[in-house]
Structures are given as C-alpha cells and as structure tokens.
Structure 1
C-alpha cells in the first residue's frame, strides 16, 4: 500500500465496515425496507428473504471494508472492489423514482443522502488508477533499465574488443620490427664472416 493511499483507504474502509456491522443488526422493518429498495432496482434479489438479503449486504460491506483496511491488499484490488460497491449504490440512486430531479442526475432533497455514494466510486477509481499507473511506470522503468543495461554491455564488449584488437595489433607491429632488426643483425654477421674468409684466402 502506498503511503498516500492510507488516509483514503482508512476512512472509506472504516465507514463501510461500520455500515456492514449495522446492517447485520438491522430489525425486520429495516431489512424489509432495504430489500424492497434494492429488489426494485435489481430484480435478482426479489426472491430473497429480507433478512437474508440484509445479511448478505452486511457481509459484503464488511468484506469490501476489510480489503481497504488490510495493508497487504494491493490498492488496485481494494480500489476495484470499492468502485464496484459504489457503482451498485449509485445505480440504485439513479434508478429509484424520487431520488433524482427531472434531468435524472441531480439529486432531490430525498436523494441527496444517497447521491453522496458517488464519492465511493471516485475514491475507488482513484486507488485503482493510481495503482495501475504506478505499476505501468515501474514496468516501463524496468524495461528501460534492461535495455540500457543491454546497450551498455554491448558497448562495453565492442570497446573491449576494439581495445584488445589495438593492443594485439601494437604487439604484432613490435614483433615484426624486432624480427626485422634481428634478421638485419644476422645478415651483417654473415656478410662479415664471408668477408673474413675471402681476405684469408
């Protein structure tokens, strides 16, 4: 978890966990109200008992909150879970009659308390996007570092080869000069011996 994510994850996580615990203690009337509201927007919940639905929602909120609070969970995962959770709440807000004004977006007085859930979507997207972009940056830096290292190795190898070749060439030239000097000395000695033998005759 990046240090800059701590305040956002701590506050949203604690709020959602508390909300989930509250739902687990909800009475029958509150459970029926929540179930009726949710099933009117998401028909998949219609066949569930209000108490079962409320428990499912409560455990779901506790799970999302735990993901946000646990420092070992990557922000990309925690942010994705928070985004999905917030999007579900915003969906209920947008599709429930009386919650929005005529434009279908701005909240009515009754919908203001629910419209704030859009902040959860923004917070989740912030965590997920920052984590993704940070991971992309690190991956790019790793690739760039690898390319730079490879280029350095090649350049070093070429320089070494050139330097080694120059050194060998220099040694070769010196060897040839030394051999030529020795050959000249041998030739001089031979000519001197030949001259000696001619004189003695």
Structure 2
C-alpha cells in the first residue's frame, strides 16, 4: 500500500502550552494513535513556527488517525477552559484571605486554578471609575469553572458576615455544592 501524508494545523485549535498534554506522558497519546491506526505521527513546526501534526500512512488509516487526533484535541480543550474577569484591586485581599487560605479553599473545593494579574494602568471607563483593576483567570473544565465562580461570588458578597463556606466540612456546604452541580 502507498503511504500518504496528512498535515493537521494543531496550532489553530490548541494553544502551544497544551501540546504536552496532546503528546502525553512519555509520548503515550501519540503512541496509542500510531499503534491503533498503524500510522506514523509526529509534530513539527512550519516556517512561521506554528505547530502541525503530520500523519503518515495508508489513506483510510490517515482518516481514522485524524479522527483520533481531533477527539484528543477536543478533550484537551474541554478540560482546559478559561474564564477571565476583572475586579477592583481593593477586593483581592479579602478574596485571597490570610496566607491564601480562602482562595485555596475555593481552588480545592471546585478543582480550579485561579490566577491574578494586576493591570498597572488605571482605567477611565464607567465600570471601574479610574480604579486599578486586577484580571482574574479561572481555569478548569466548564462545570469546575461554574462552581469556582459561584464560590468566588459568594466569598465577595459575604464581606463582613460569616458564611457556610468558612468550614467546608459542614453539611450545608456539601448541599450547596451539590445544588450548584444541578
């Protein structure tokens, strides 16, 4: 059988920081696709330094391997979604809590990753009234992000009062968390 080559521009669909997840530990994901479809698969960069997947093998095997590549890319994208919002820098300390205790509880409870990035420029739009704002990025899958955002919202709206999130071992916390999953 003649071998053909199929190039898939993975850089259009997957951020370069996620290529490691595509490759898998010790190349396991690539190995599985190669072995199951009886093709050769490698990642290469074109002249513009964009990552591409090259699949080499018989025509019908290429189609099957491409389907597996698309499925893997879709799975990785769904697991690595991001939600970004801005908030006034004066509220960040309350959200984080002493020694990061509150934000760590939110991260552990919802299984998300939260990053803060201070914007050094003052904004003069109606939303921030010229105050310094901080960009907050919440990463995870869709459901985890929703839970994390709810916990962040609850933390920010509870300023000055005790909430059931103070002790995540309570029954109320578990019920509330399960309710947010529905």
Provide the TM-score with structure 1 as the length reference: 0.21
Larger helix fraction of residues: 1
Instruction: Calculate the TM-score normalised by the size of structure 2.
Output: 0.23
Flag the structure with higher strand content.
2
Question: Which has the higher Rg, Structure 1 or Structure 2?
Answer: 1
